[in-house]
Amino acid sequence: MGDTMAGRPVLYQKLQLWESSLESEDEEEISESLALDPWRPQNYPGNQAGGLPGAWPRIVAALLLVVIVFSLAAKQLQAKGSSPAPLGTVAPPRSRHTHSPGVYHHGAVISPAAPCTHLAREFLAAGGNVVDAGIGAALCLAVVHPHATGLGAMFWGLFHNSSSGNTSALMPGPVQTLVPGLGLPLALPSLALLHRHFGHLPWSYLLTGPTTLAEEGFLVDTALALALATQGAKGLCPLLCHPDGSPLGPGARATNPELAKVLRKAALAPSPELAGDALLSPLVRELGLEAPPARSLPTLQTALLLPVPQGLLFTTPSPSAGPELLAQLEAALHKGEPSPVPCPPQDPAPPGSSVLAIVDSSGSVLLLASSLNGSFGSGHLSLSTGVLFSKLVAGSSATPWVCPLIFRDSSDDTEVDVFGLVASESPTVTRVITHTLLTHLAGAQPQHQQARTTCTNVCSQETVLQVAVHAEHVHVSGVPKDCCSFEGL
């Protein structure tokens, strides 16, 4: 959508991420091309000798008002409709001023893959909330980053709801295997559960973009190409291979039609349990199992809470690293200074985990982390579903290196600051997040600068995403510098 439509100025409106309707901006948001005062006599023909004094200006002004009223009415009717706008058709709100990269007015998303970041931003622009955007991005990453995440991965999440003030943790449940060595896939029921409780846009709408990517194809990016070059194509053909069996390189187009079929079936599921069956049923047939195994489904739990002098800290409960993180933070806060972050020897292996973060200007934050327990998980590709299983063995415990963190300050002001951190799995992740949060709390520089600089010294093999809300603006950044893409509106 351009700045004008059919020669008439466009009235931009503030996007409310948690409501299904749009609120109109103040009258000053009307395009500045209406610079003339419609009630002031102008040099129109009707004001010349022999004309009716003041008549033409009043007629023109009345016509302009009619156009504006009809424009507002049309926008309100469209906003109250039951169906969201098609992806790619929603223009972002226009701002009268700009900010440095990573700072936005309404909402923002940061993820490891540019197509998924862009898709999530479109969900925000279409009236979705941070949960809608996060689910869309997570499903997109399951298509384009099979080395780090997927429908076979386990998911953890931390969601702070600014409307209710509550913070909830998405937990995958106990580790289970489908057959020895292959983890039971619970990504779909995890994301569907999150959507059922907190989502706003239709579940089927969120799966449209990822399904299209899987069916029509996506370009192999640098991260996936590097993982393929390191891992090799064994077990990944024909999904990620050339006809000669060599792994795809950067810029090559890949498709996953079987995964598209699974996503299409999951889009029609009326419950989180049945969403998971869209994947589990064909896997049971493919593996020759008599029946699906008994399973413990993912849950939503109250987040762990640690009050500190500066505010409240929230993280995920056990069996994540959340309890360990809060213990480290509590001890470090007594010392009053950031603790050093030891960097172990560099591990050149590609990641087997993925993280993403979404934030809006009201203070709602969603942090998601997923793990295949190794690059490309088990390396076993299901030909009937296009899904890679996570690498698990019976009796193993869930990865402890998951501990997303949300900090909410204790200010009595109406503008409450919120700060979120999520990092890829690593034995040092709790120390990295502890150091980053303490640096944030101790920083004397302005928030808009601080949001981009507090975690520049973490170990380079870890991905750390940082989001913040301050003074009705949102801030996003990632480390290493080029690890992730971000977009906002």
- Over residues 252-293, the pLDDT tens digits come to 999 999 999 999 999 999 888 899 999 999 999 999 998 888
Predicted pLDDT of residue 335: 76
Per residue in 55-82, pLDDT (tens digit) is: 555 554 555 544 444 444 444 434 434 4
**What does the alpha-carbon distance between residue 86 and residue 88 come to, in Å, rounded to a whole number?**
6
pTM above 0.75, yes or no: yes
CB–CB of 371/352 below 8 Å? Answer: yes
- What value, to the nearest 5°, has the Cα angle with vertex 301 and ends 434 and 469? 50
**What does the alpha-carbon distance between residue 225 and residue 248 come to, in Å, rounded to a whole number?**
7
CB proximity list for 43: less than 8 A, separation 6 or greater:
none
Per residue in 87-142, pLDDT (tens digit) is: 655 555 555 556 688 999 999 999 999 999 999 999 999 999 999 999 999 999 99
Where does the pLDDT of residue 471 fall: very low under 50, low under 70, confident under 90, or very high at 90 and above? confident
Helices assigned H by DSSP within 287-415 = 322-335
Predicted pLDDT of residue 44: 32
Could you state, in order of their start, the residue ranges of all structural domains in the chain? 4-79, 103-217+255-488
- Strand locations in 161-295 (E): 167-171, 177-179, 182-183, 218-219, 253-254
Per residue in 438-469, pLDDT (tens digit) is: 888 887 344 434 344 344 445 556 789 999 99
Residue 217 carries which DSSP code?
-
- What value, to the nearest 5°, has the Cα angle with vertex 401 and ends 400 and 404? 115
